[in-house]
Structure 1
Amino acid sequence: MTRAGSPPPLDGLRVVDMSTSYAGPTASMYLADLGADVVKVERPRTGDDARSWCPPSADGASAWFASANRNKRSVAIDLRSADGIAVLHRLLADADVLIENLNPSKLAALGLAPDDVRARHPRLVYCAMSGLGLTGPDAALPGYDLVAQARSGLMSVTGAAGGSPQRVSTALSDIVTGMAAALAVTAAVVRQRATGQGDLVDVSLLDSDLALLAPRVAAYLAGEPEPAPSGGTDSVLAIYQPFPTADRDIVIAIGNDVIWRRFCVAVGLTALAEDDRLGDNAGRRAHRSELVATITDVLARRPAAEWLAVLAGAGVPTSLVQGLSEVTTDPQVLARGAILPVPGSDGALNGVRSPFRLASMPEPRNERFPELGEHTVEVLRQAGFEAAAVERLLASGAVAAPAATADRRVS
Structure 2
Amino acid sequence: MTAAVSDETGRGPLTGVRVVDLTTSYAGPTAAMYLADLGADVVKVERPGRGDDTREWAPPDVNGTAAWFASANRNKRSIVIDLRSEGGKTALLSLLDRADVFLVNLNPGKLASLGLEPETLHERNPALVYCAMSGFGLTGPDWDLPGYDLVAQARSGLMSVTGEPGGTPQRVSTALSDVVSGMAAALAVSAATVRQRQSGEGDVVDVSLLDTDLALMAPRISAYLAGDPEPRPSGGTDSVLAIYQSFATANENIVIAVGNDAIWQRMCTALDLGDLATAPELADNAGRRAHRERIVAAMTQRLRCHPAEVWLRVLREARVPCAPVQSLSQVIADPQVNARDGLLPLKGKGEGLVGVHSPFRLGSLPQPPNGPVPDLGGDTVEILREAGYPDGEIEALLARGAVEAADHTDVTGAA
Normalized against structure 2, the TM-score is what? 0.96
Please say if residues 377 and 406 of structure 1, whose CA atoms lie closer than 8 Å, have aligned partners that are also in contact. no
Structure 1 position 8, deviation (Å): 1.1
2:42 to 38, 53, 56: 38
Structure 1 position 234, deviation (Å): 3.9
Structure 1 position 109, deviation (Å): 1.2
Counterpart residue type for residue 389 of structure 2: F
Query: Where does residue 81 of structure 1 map in the other structure?
Result: 85
Counterpart residue type for residue 239 of structure 1: I
Alignment of 1:11-26 (within 5 A): 11-26=15-30
Q: Does 1:256 align with 2:273?
A: no
Q: Does 1:294 align with 2:313?
A: no
Q: How many residues of Structure 1 are paired with residues of Structure 2 in the alignment?
A: 408
Q: What CA deviation, in whole Å up to 9, does each residue of 1:291-311 have, x standing for no partner?
A: 100100000011100000000
1:322 to 304, 319, 326: 326
Within 2, Cα distance between the matches of 1:189 and 1:7?
17
SS state at 1:403 partner: coil
Q: What CA deviation, in whole Å up to 9, does each residue of 1:111-151 have, x standing for no partner?
A: 11122222222110000000001100001000000000000
1:137 to 137, 141, 152: 141
Mean Cα displacement is larger for which, 113-122 or 17-26? 113-122
23 and 5 in structure 1: CA distance in 2 versus 1, 3 angstrom threshold: closer
Please say if residues 381 and 411 of structure 2, whose CA atoms lie closer than 8 Å, have aligned partners that are also in contact. no
Mean Cα displacement is larger for which, 328-337 or 106-115? 106-115
Counterpart residue type for residue 332 of structure 2: T
345 and 294 in structure 1: CA distance in 2 versus 1, 3 angstrom threshold: farther
368 and 405 in structure 1: CA distance in 2 versus 1, 3 angstrom threshold: farther
Mean Cα displacement is larger for which, 342-351 or 266-275? 342-351
Counterpart residue type for residue 100 of structure 2: D
Counterpart residue type for residue 334 of structure 1: N
289 and 140 in structure 1: CA distance in 2 versus 1, 3 angstrom threshold: same
Within 2, Cα distance between the matches of 1:241 and 1:408?
63
Within 1, Cα distance between the matches of 2:168 and 2:351?
38
2:195 to 185, 191, 199: 191
Query: Where does residue 389 of structure 1 map in the other structure?
Result: 393
213 and 45 in structure 1: CA distance in 2 versus 1, 3 angstrom threshold: same
Mean Cα displacement is larger for which, 75-84 or 101-110? 101-110
Structure 1 position 5, deviation (Å): 6.3
Q: What CA deviation, in whole Å up to 9, does each residue of 1:263-308 have, x standing for no partner?
A: 0001100121111110100000000001100100000011100000
Mean Cα displacement is larger for which, 398-407 or 303-312? 398-407
Please say if residues 78 and 397 of structure 1, whose CA atoms lie closer than 8 Å, have aligned partners that are also in contact. yes
SS state at 1:167 partner: coil
Alignment of 1:46-195 (within 5 A): 46-195=50-199
Please say if residues 73 and 374 of structure 2, whose CA atoms lie closer than 8 Å, have aligned partners that are also in contact. yes
Q: Does 1:228 align with 2:232?
A: yes
Within 2, Cα distance between the matches of 1:33 and 1:56?
24
Kindly report structure 1 stretches of 4+ aligned residues shifted beyond 6 Å.
Answer: none
Within 2, Cα distance between the matches of 1:149 and 1:346?
31
Counterpart residue type for residue 152 of structure 2: A
SS state at 2:383 partner: helix
Query: Where does residue 376 of structure 2 map in the other structure?
Result: 372
Please say if residues 341 and 357 of structure 2, whose CA atoms lie closer than 8 Å, have aligned partners that are also in contact. yes
Within 1, Cα distance between the matches of 2:71 and 2:37?
13
Counterpart residue type for residue 119 of structure 1: E
Q: Does 1:311 align with 2:315?
A: yes
Counterpart residue type for residue 94 of structure 1: R
Counterpart residue type for residue 278 of structure 1: L
Counterpart residue type for residue 313 of structure 1: E
Counterpart residue type for residue 299 of structure 1: L
Within 2, Cα distance between the matches of 1:29 and 1:139?
26
Within 2, Cα distance between the matches of 1:31 and 1:13?
9
Please say if residues 244 and 296 of structure 1, whose CA atoms lie closer than 8 Å, have aligned partners that are also in contact. yes
Please say if residues 9 and 367 of structure 2, whose CA atoms lie closer than 8 Å, have aligned partners that are also in contact. no
Counterpart residue type for residue 199 of structure 1: D
346 and 125 in structure 1: CA distance in 2 versus 1, 3 angstrom threshold: closer
Within 1, Cα distance between the matches of 2:161 and 2:306?
31
Structure 1 position 408, deviation (Å): 5.8
Q: Which runs of 5+ in 2 are unaligned?
A: 1-7
Please say if residues 65 and 350 of structure 2, whose CA atoms lie closer than 8 Å, have aligned partners that are also in contact. no
Within 2, Cα distance between the matches of 1:266 and 1:380?
65
283 and 405 in structure 1: CA distance in 2 versus 1, 3 angstrom threshold: farther
Query: Where does residue 210 of structure 1 map in the other structure?
Result: 214
1:402 to 399, 406, 413: 406
Counterpart residue type for residue 394 of structure 1: L
Mean Cα displacement is larger for which, 232-241 or 182-191? 232-241
SS state at 1:203 partner: strand
Please say if residues 381 and 410 of structure 1, whose CA atoms lie closer than 8 Å, have aligned partners that are also in contact. no
RMSD: 1.4
2:335 to 308, 331, 354: 331
Q: What CA deviation, in whole Å up to 9, does each residue of 1:34-89 have, x standing for no partner?
A: 00000000001110011000111111111000000000000000000111111011
Structure 1 position 11, deviation (Å): 0.4
